[in-house]
Chain A
Amino acid sequence: MKQRKSEAVTDLREEYPKFTPAMKSTHKILVPDMLPVHFGIIVDFLRKEGWDVEVLHNDSRAVIDEGLKHVHNDTCFPALCVTGQFIDALKSGKYDPEHTAVLITQSGGGCRASNYIPLIRKALKAEFPHVPVVSLNFAGLEKDSGFPVNAKLLMKLAFAIFYGDTLMSLYNQCKPYETEEGASDRARQDCLRTVNAAFDAGKHRKYKTIVRSMLERFAKVGRSGEAKVKVGIVGEIYVKYSPLGNSHLEEFLLSEGCEPVVPALMDFILYCAVNNVNDAKFYNKKSFATLLFHVVYKYLHHVQKKIAALTQKYGFEPLHDFEHLRKCADRVIHQGVKMGEGWLIPAEMAALAETGTENIVCAQPFGCLPNHIAGKGTIRTLKKMYARANIVAVDYDPSATKVNQENRIKLMLATARENLAARQDKKE
């Protein structure tokens, strides 16, 4: 390369408040609402370790309005929701802006989502100049404001996610069929207590015991055997899970008498790990981290398989086996599509379709770049592979009306019900 005059770098960055581990004793940390169950488990053990953490649940229209004010028009909806939620909370007067920090996870990657942290910093700057943004990431990003991560914490997080995933899945498998109103909710409460107690006692790694007790608890929920429409939810990670992001999609599906099937968050974690390993395989991008990711991946996958086997034993539908998901992906798209949720989306859609959940909502923020390709772009292929696949892509956006979204989902449900009826007729 020629003409590089000097290696001088012009630094145009503006100052921002840093997060230091010392703030553990002085600051409250606010966390956006994304996965209510998972985050509940995590917050519980972090609090007991001395972190003052709080998951936000504010979801009034003001949240979206604050987001619209503070984030660029064309930025994706999740950035807008998260930022709006932080600002709305800080403005509520419930928190001392001098002693509050906000936390966000970061995966790092070619999607613009990696830029949420700078965007939130920019948004906070004008009104809350002393509120630091904390990054929770495993890629060594934001070194001056990272949440202190060590092997012990990682282990705890991983198990919290496993338990959260299992709980979410069991609840969804029971709730629509429960013969006694509220039985599933009670089971979920009991299980949460079990899990929290396990973390307290430092026994969170005894996953077989814990999962078994959850399965036993949910097995006690009385369920009717009637066939209901199963609807899978896939898509961009935030709108897929966050009730604020997807206008309470799971609740809506439950109210329509459907069984929501939501793939595990752990799959996304494994997806990130595998991408790192794939980069080494495809492009010779080998590093120490590659090896580490490989080992971590092996271990987590091992646990995942064991949990799946247990789940099956108790007569519940297990969550996907990640190696199987990879095989599903290979039939639709290359595993090189690794930005955003990339190949994981079609992989999950294929895995769902193949296990009888042919009705799928593919949720994405309006104008989501990776989803053009991995979401909407793969639907045609999937429909060719699974003739009965009934997929609706729904865009989430601050101004799209709920009616518009629900109407599209209802169209999908109408087809789903017809398919279900046809199948039952055939059986009879």
Chain B
Amino acid sequence: MAKRLGIDVGSTTVKVCVLGEDLQIEYTSYERHMARVKECVAAQLAVVAEKFGGGDFCVSITGSAGLGLAERSGLPFVQEVQAAFTAIRRYYPDADAAVELGGEDAKIIFITGGTEQRMNGSCAGGTGAFIDQMATLLNVSVPEMDALSLRAERTYPIASRCGVFAKSDIQPLLNQGARKEDIAASIFQAVVDQTISGLAQGRRIKGKVLFLGGPLYFLQGLRKAFCTTLGLDGEHAVFPDSAPCFMSIGAALHAGGEKPMPLAEALRRLQNAKGSDDIVTGSPLFESREEYDAFVARHKASDLAFEDIRTYRGDAYLGIDSGSTTTKLALITPGCKLLYRHYQSNNGQPLDIVLECLREIYRLAEGRVRIAGAAVTGYGEDLMKAALKADFGIVETVAHFKAALYFNPKVDFIIDIGGQDIKCFKIKNGVIDSIMLNEACSSGCGSFIQTFAKAMGMEIDEFSRLGLFAEHPVELGSRCTVFMNSSVKQAQKEGASVEDISAGLSASIVKNAIYKVIRAKTPDELGENILVQGGTFLNDAVLRSFELETGKQVTRPGIAGLMGAFGAALYAKENVRGESTVITEEELQDFTYTSKSRVCKGCTSRCNVNVIGFSDGRKFISGNKCEKGAGLKPHGDELDLYAYKYERLLRSVPQSLPAGRIRGRVGLPLALGFYEQLPLWAGFFEALGFEVVLSEKSSRGLYFRGQHTVASDTVCYPAKLAHGHIESLLDRGVDFIFFPCESYNIDEHGADNHYNCPVVAYYPELLKANNERLGDDNFVMPYIDVNDVRSASRALARSLKRFKVSRRACARALRAGFARLEEYRADVEEKAGEILYRAGREGKRAVVLAGRPYHIDPEINHGIGKLLGSLGVAVLSEDGVFRRGEPVRVNVINQWTYHARLYRAAEYVARTPGLELVQLVSFGCGIDAITTDEVRSILEKSGKLYTQIKIDEINNLGVVKIRLRSMLAAVEEQQRRAADGEAGRGAEQEVRS
């Protein structure tokens, strides 16, 4: 009998296995293919040929990249999970479940108690690739990261649903100086959490569990995280030695049924496999070398003049842009000549870089240069400002705008593509008119090229230069990084060259920015005088793609990557008064710092804060949501309607038992629709003589408790949290949980209809179906329309039959509930009025944080209300003010109760001076894809800024803070200008407001 050969071609590695006649494993190998799939397979087969001689083999291919290869070479294929399953049954017949992490896929196989095989969905990011990406971010190798993780003291919550999210969690942690050890462990924990919530989906992973695939074999930290989280001991967690090649073994087992062929034949077939014609290609960036030279010459015109720091004598101004992935410094003379500049990847230690740069500046200057002013901007602003005692900390957008004006006073559109953000500003009348920032989901583009270049073993410059003269740039789509990642891999598998991919990536980044972030329908919308900046635009291929896509010639300053720092320096120059406070040469000599993390116990939020101690005894605290964590006196929340509503809502539940006989204990989950209807149902059940038990307050811990019952990993976070609330109620021992299904919400008139969104309406169905602890007797979910008391009381009475509640009693109780709901709403509106009045009297700016009722949950909004409060802003909510606005007719069908409020609130804000609107959007909310455009257009019609904040389970306010501060800065500037130009442009302003 012939030997069997299994080949597993995954997204990143090739595994080969040879089985002997008695199915004993005779040979295995594991190698990264660096996207050169065919070459790698051929090389490994050559080794096999050498070892075993050319003889006949039964061959079978498996793996995600093996699919196409098998098809084109005519070799048999077996699906990889199936292959693993076969191998498990053969070698580990007593296993209960298996978890396999590969380069881009994660799989779970349940064996006992109903066989089931699952793979991650298309959005679940990579796993092995995710870990690689994170290691790059930490600037360590994967084995180093593993070693680091074993020395962790704590873990931070990090989203692993996609690499982009995780990055936006990790970057600020790095910038704030969190320990790499802790971050490494947190990354592994995130992978575990993702596997459990995304894959197990309601099924517990228990018994004897097999862990397969490369990452789980090589990474001790990941193993540890899995065992701890699943509560497995050494006996139940099995890590086979053959884990990395397990699928190839399975493939070899499957090969048994195939006809043997000479190894040379298999090799020949593989090598002759043609690339498919599926890939779409575009036209080259440059037709000729001459065209490229002209392009380079044109952009040279926007370079900045230099001055030699080694000879210069006099004042200088320092600007620091502590960005998410890079740190930038610029030192300029009063005449705006560049004395010193620095641009460097953070490598996780931004403060060290800045300190080193400052030392160098002082060294080069030899006492001739006096730093007369310094300003800091970017993610790391707070830390840098504290460490260096800089004179100013300014918002990024302000810094960029300042710098842009220097290069083109007529500029009307600025687009900045940095490592992780895309920022665009439209300028009207010399003021920022609208700001567009990328959402968490489509971000990561600049650093994506970098990560990818590194994966190809190249520096980013080299990689992107390759694309300039590519003949057939590949079309890679223009969505989020993770999707682009798989598009790139697919293109490679189809045989696209590195040049073509490099050019394709540049085009994708540009398309993503124009069509997804700016959301322009035609390039003409951008403006006439476009200025592009940000490190990513230093890349000529990106710049060229942008010009080709827009059909316009744009300005790119030679210091495109330093614009934030340059703008900050300009700001310092214009605004410094008196002596600068910036750290002196002497102070710098023996300046050091330490970094520690702890949990703030100031309130129930339990923020993870980082304490950075400077050698001069000062301290810097970050990670806190409010001033309390920083050891300051917290601001009051009297002007925060979100805080008020939350507290007022909880007060609507009786603290004491109702008088008389208690019919039973009903549990009400503090989730979704209950954030508004709680008073109604509390009142209802109290009137019927039930004891009302509320689930505990939301927290990340509570989310994890219910995570194993989440059925759809792309549903919004407010819905996912509901699972935890159910667990909480079950643990509190209630007779039953009440959670009604309501297709229709309360009819507030003035709209086309009054639906709930599908998730709010029917989520109880999903909760019940996916939690084994729930059944008909302890989970009551009647279908009701609360607008119709007759049918509602009928349905309620039927659902509470075993408590012998009559229909009439239900109707009575409903009325009692409605009275309580009305009280609550009247209080909220009254409080809104009070806040508006007080804000007006105190001259405070007020912001309507427009979301849904459940956005008042601090675990959902992550303390954005508090953050606004700390910025000195009064906070209102959409339901507090919408009745002040008129019902509106909008372009879309206005058919959801909660969303109709958004339009009316926007209408009110649009015509109310001093009031702004920030729309809160939960990630995954499909309906907001429709509402956001409408709300934006309502506001922009009257010249107001539109700001949207997307929130998810990630808990990082850094980005949000920048966004909100940018908005406030722009609004202030607008108003200042309006006041200045009152006489001249008074008439025009009036029309607009």
Contacts and interface: CB of A to CB of B under 8 A. Distances in A.
Interface in B447-495: 475, 477-480, 483-484, 486-487, 490, 493
Contact of B938 (A12, A398, A415): A12
B926 A75 contact: yes
Interface stretch (B395-403, B666-674, B757-765, B870-878): B757-765
A380 B714 contact: no
Contacts of A122: 891, 933
B712 A72 contact: no
A312 interface: no
A411 B119 contact: yes
A379 B712 CA distance: 11
A10 B892 CA distance: 14
Most buried by A among B748, B892, B937: B892
A336 B743 contact: yes
Nearest to A414: B82
A115 B785 contact: no
Interface in A114-152: 114-115, 118-119, 121-123, 126-127
Contact of B766 (A69, A339, A340, A377): A377
Contacts of B714: 366-367, 372, 395
A137 to B, nearest CB: 12
Contact of B758 (A1, A110, A115, A405): A110
Nearest to A70: B521
Interface in A5-32: 5-14
A68 B82 contact: no
B744 interface: yes
Contact of A368 (B516, B757, B926, B937): B926
A58 interface: no
Contacts of B280: 61
B711 interface: yes
Interface string A321-334: 00000000000011
A375 to B, nearest CB: 8
Contacts of A403: 64, 67-68, 486, 490, 493
Nearest to B770: A380
B941 interface: yes
B887 interface: yes
A68 B478 contact: yes
B743 A339 contact: yes
A395 B761 contact: no
B389 to A, nearest CB: 42
Contacts, number: 252
Interface string B117-142: 10101110000000000000000000
B929 A72 contact: yes
B985 interface: no
A408 B119 contact: yes
B487 A401 contact: yes
Contacts of B516: 68, 73
Contact of B477 (A123, A387, A398, A407): A398
B809 interface: no
Contact of B933 (A72, A397, A406): A72
Interface string B876-887: 000000010011
Q: How large is the interface on A (under 10, 10 to 19, 20 to 34, 35 or more residues)?
A: 35 or more
Nearest to A9: B887
A399 B907 CA distance: 36
Given A127-B522, A283-B788, A373 B783 contact: no
Nearest to A379: B711
Interface in B484-536: 484, 486-487, 490, 493, 515-516, 519, 521-522
Interface in B750-804: 750, 753, 755-759, 761-763, 765-766, 769-770, 781, 783-785, 787-788, 790-792, 795
Given A284-B791, A366-B123, A376-B711, A11 B758 contact: no
A350 to B, nearest CB: 13
B893 interface: yes
B941 A377 contact: no
B576 to A, nearest CB: 42
A426 interface: no
Nearest to B121: A395
Contact of A369 (B201, B743, B788, B927): B927
A99 interface: no
B118 to A, nearest CB: 9
A339 B765 CA distance: 13
B386 interface: no
Given A9-B886, A118-B892, A373-B762, A112 B930 contact: yes
Contacts of A381: 769
B121 A8 contact: no
B62 to A, nearest CB: 10
A299 B490 CA distance: 51
Nearest to A397: B122
A92 B64 CA distance: 36
Contact of B883 (A3, A110, A114, A334): A3
A211 B938 CA distance: 54
Nearest to A393: B121
Contact of A126 (B522, B750, B896, B926): B522
A273 interface: no
B81 A411 contact: yes
Contacts of B522: 126-127
A410 interface: yes
A404 interface: yes
B890 interface: yes
Nearest to B82: A414
Contacts of B442: 73
B519 A72 contact: yes
B79 interface: yes
B248 interface: no
A74 B483 contact: no
A404 B121 CA distance: 9
B326 interface: no
A338 interface: yes
Given A110-B755, A369-B758, A377 B64 contact: no
A377 B123 contact: no
Contact of B765 (A70, A75, A377, A397): A377
Contacts of B264: none
B556 to A, nearest CB: 24
A285 interface: yes
B929 A73 contact: yes
Contacts of B711: 372, 376-377, 379-380
B757 A110 contact: yes
B10 to A, nearest CB: 11
A422 to B, nearest CB: 12
A112 B783 CA distance: 21
A303 interface: no
A182 B756 CA distance: 49
Interface in B68-105: 68, 78-82
B735 interface: no
B924 interface: yes
Contacts of A2: 826
Contacts of A9: 750, 886-889
28 contacts: A2-B826, A3-B829, A13-B889, A69-B515, A72-B929, A74-B926, A110-B753, A110-B758, A110-B895, A115-B893, A118-B930, A119-B892, A283-B785, A285-B788, A334-B741, A334-B783, A366-B714, A372-B714, A372-B758, A376-B201, A399-B480, A399-B487, A401-B486, A401-B490, A405-B122, A407-B64, A410-B67, A414-B82
Given A72-B929, A399-B483, 19 more contacts: A11-B889, A68-B516, A72-B932, A73-B439, A74-B926, A75-B926, A76-B929, A126-B522, A282-B795, A283-B792, A340-B758, A367-B714, A370-B758, A372-B719, A377-B769, A395-B714, A399-B479, A404-B486, A407-B67
Which 5 residue pairs across A and B have the least CB separation, nearest first? Answer: A377-B766, A336-B783, A74-B929, A283-B785, A399-B483
Interface of A: 1-14, 61, 65, 68-70, 72-76, 110-112, 114-115, 118-119, 121-123, 126-127, 279, 282-285, 333-334, 336-340, 366-374, 376-381, 383, 387, 393, 395, 397-408, 410-411, 413-415, 418
